[in-house]
Chain A
Amino acid sequence: MNRNVKRTVLICCGPGCLSNQGMDVYEEFKTKILISGLDVDLRSAVETENACVTDTLHPGIKTDLETMVSPAVKATGCQGLCEMGPLVRIEPDSIFYTKVKVSDVTEIIEKTLMENRVVERLLYKDPVQGRKVRAREEAEFYKSQLKVALRNVGEIDPESLDDYIERDGYRALKIVLSQKTSEDVLSEIEKSGLRGRGGAGFPTGRKWRQCARTGNYPKYVICNGDEGDPGAFMDRSIMEGDPHSVIEGMIIGAYAVGSHEGFMYIRDEYFLAIQNMTKALEQARREGFLGKNILGSGFDFDIQIVRGGGAFVCGESTALMASIEGKVGEPRAKYIRSVEKGLWGKPTVLNNVETWANVPVIINKGADWFCSIGTERSKGTKVFSLVGKVRNTGLIEVPMGVTLRRIIFDIGGGIAGGRKFKAVQTGGPSGGCIPESLLDLKVDFDTLDEAGSMMGSGGMIVMDDRTCMVDVARYYLNFLSEESCGKCVPCREGIRRMLEILNDICEGRGRQGDIELLAELGETVREASLCGLGKTAPNPVLTTIKYFKDEYLAHIEDKTCPAGVCKNLTTYYIDKTLCKSCGLCKKNCPSEAIEEKLEGYFINLLKCIKCGSCMNACRFGAVKILAGIMRKL
């Protein structure tokens, strides 16, 4: 480590870390640094390189060149490794601390900031390498990643426009407005091969051109920040952690298609995203990046925020537009496309957060650079929220074409709790479950489609042997039946009927022929529904039937849930030969169903509510599930 350098303490205040007191850690750093007298104006201190500055400012504090530091403390957006939060990183050496508590802060200041030493205890232990790593870049989790859309998320203070500008922010906009025609921008985006990151993967450049072509005015530009997928937080992280990149992308898009008015539709629950975005819009206006006559170019454009009402179907473009118009968010048939008649019947370009965030980079680095990343037909990178039964839960971004195995086992560090991998679900409720045999699939739009799943907006949920695939299918269908707007019959009734069958199967009333019936209904719903919600709704069911038929059969024929999730089909018992009488199961049981007898622990079935806590808690695998036949007794 260098002495006398400008250090930056980056404290992750992304959604995951915030829920673990990330903000408290940040506040503690700020106060402690102020008290310890390290908080000098770092820029002038570094420039003058005069240790006396600190001395005079804080008499009584011992500072000399050896220990002089001038740290900047920043609350950043999500740094990715949510599982280990709160995360603290100290630049320029990229020292990476995990699970930092308020009580650790003083030690970090004294050791790392003042004495250039690391606090061994807080270093991250890489599950793949099995050792502690000092810098973030050494961790397997970060090694295979490539951050394009997330380039600033976790690196900057999202509330600071200066931070954004320091990292090339608004440079692309300046280039576009001073040197490029809208035609130039359109062809650059087309050449880059960028496809919409919201799920369907429609070529962005083509969409823009179609809109640019129509001579109908006004035109609108929309950012979809609704993110209805349960289990996904990518868009949220970008809006919270790097709002300006989305704004800049939208201004460039508006310039290319000739729009002067933009809307950002953000889910109402995303309080911080709305707040950071509002601030960023004000800053951008103040600096002349938004509003009338942007940067003296004569181009006018402004953006308003619209808060979403919490309806999944509003992710559907036509429904989202209805919602912005102040109506019920029902989709309409897309005979006429939104690029011709969208918001208020006017030509509209709608892209999601991640797509917009990619745009400035493409302009800055060029379409050729962007094209060099990814696969033949899917260029660039994709952001995923990697969650579920995986060790390193978090926010990641990888080049298209990386295999699922690499994502789950290298970046994700493998399955949590030493259990066995069963499936990975991609694409949210519109996607499907991919089994172990397909782990070497390359992740891009087309291969996932071929496997019966889809890229979707980027939720990636890892499942282990404690996940019931029939229950997962039921879960998504239940979600979709609640979210179906009800406008068309195949979707409204079809999903409901499929859900009834799945409920029957999970509750032990499954009958022969159910699987075939589900498949048949699924095909109909897929073909006959009006919008994307219905068209893709059967996917989770169809893929689980395709890859996990055994599990359906176990439910229907043996009346057993092999994963121990469906309560009517599960009976737990403790295997005496494996039980070490540690009592952990008893401690975790909410209904005092576990009793200790002379001969060991056992489960009182009359009291057991089948929550599975005991099975999750036992470290010796002694809690087991009775096989079907015995339970029929």
Chain B
Amino acid sequence: MVLHDYTYTNTILKKYPREQRHLLAILQDIQRHYNYLPRKSLDMVRDYLDIPLSKLYSMATFYRALSLKPKGEYVIKVCDGTACHIKSSQSIIDEIRKVLNIDSGETTGDGKFSLETVNCLGSCAASPVMVINDKFYGKVIPSMVGGILSEYGGPEN
């Protein structure tokens, strides 16, 4: 585990006036920086905006973009938008599940991979699509999955 530098949360907070309307933006910035919402940062937000922690948690669990759990080194996003779904994105997800042994929303034990499903990446012409961190893969079929994951040090199957 990396030791977090929580001073960055302060830097984020300073960008915004102390008004509730900026809460979502603040949480998004924190999420982007740390890849999740660390408890310590949430405390800092609570103090800064003077909002009860319960409110912050309800935000964190309501919006998909926010997460209370740390994510893996590589975040695999498989599109399960309608276009991808009818082109068998489910089989891609099944295959990743099989190879990595995690469900959607989970992270592998070694903290290497997280699996997420998302709704439409706007690249429906290349459906089904998946993205690992920033790298894009289009027209994926199940037999490609093992090879793609091994590029990132995933188990060879």
Contacts and interface: CB of A to CB of B under 8 A. Distances in A.
Interface of A: 15-16, 18-20, 82-83, 85, 228-233, 236-237, 268-269, 306-312, 323-329, 385, 387-389, 393-394, 425, 428, 459, 461, 463, 467, 472, 475-476, 479, 485, 565, 587-590, 609, 611-613, 616
B78 to A, nearest CB: 13
B83 interface: yes
Contact of B23 (A19, A326, A472, A609): A326
B138 A393 contact: no
Interface residues of B, number: 46
B145 interface: yes
B124 A82 contact: yes
A228 B119 contact: yes
Which residue of A231, A389, A425, A461 has the most chain B CB atoms within 10 A of its CB atom? A231
Interface string B3-39: 0000000000000000111111100100000000000
A609 B93 CA distance: 13
A385 B83 CA distance: 10
B88 A309 contact: no
A11 to B, nearest CB: 16
B146 A309 contact: no
A310 B63 contact: yes
B121 A387 contact: no
B42 to A, nearest CB: 15
Interface in B109-157: 118-127, 129, 136, 138, 141-143, 145-146
Contacts of B20: 325-327
A229 B85 CA distance: 13
B125 A82 contact: yes
B74 to A, nearest CB: 18
Chain A to chain B: the 7 pairs with minimum beta-carbon distance, closest first: A309-B63, A231-B82, A15-B122, A310-B64, A82-B125, A230-B119, A230-B81
Contacts of B82: 230-231, 387-388, 425, 428, 459, 461, 475-476
Interface string B54-65: 000011001111
A233 B63 contact: no
Main secondary structure of the interface of B (DSSP, over half): helix
B145 A590 contact: yes
B108 interface: no
Given A19-B123, A479-B119, A328 B88 contact: no
B66 interface: yes
Query: Which of B22, B63, B94, B98 has its CB near the most chain A CB atoms (within 10 A)?
Result: B63
B65 A309 contact: yes
Most buried by A among B62, B129, B138: B62
Most chain A CB within 10 A, of B21, B22, B82, B84, is at B82
A394 B125 contact: yes
Contact of A309 (B66, B119, B127): B66
Nearest to B82: A231
A195 B15 CA distance: 39
Contact of B86 (A327, A393, A472): A472
A274 to B, nearest CB: 11
B95 interface: yes
Contacts of A329: 62-63
In this complex, the member of B59, B81, B127 whose beta carbon has the largest number of chain A beta carbons within 10 angstroms is B81
Contacts of B19: 326
B125 A326 contact: no
Nearest to B20: A326
Contacts of A459: 82
The winner among A19, A82, A83, A306 for most chain B CB atoms within 10 A is A19
B138 A19 contact: yes
Contacts of B142: 590, 609, 611, 613
Interface string B66-90: 1000000000000011111111100
B64 A309 contact: yes
Nearest to B136: A19
Given A16-B126, A309-B65, A590-B143, 7 more contacts: A15-B121, A389-B86, A590-B141, A609-B95, A611-B91, A613-B88, A613-B142
B124 A328 contact: no
B44 to A, nearest CB: 16
A268 B21 contact: no
Contact of B25 (A307, A425, A565): A307
A453 B64 CA distance: 27
B85 to A, nearest CB: 5
A329 B145 CA distance: 36
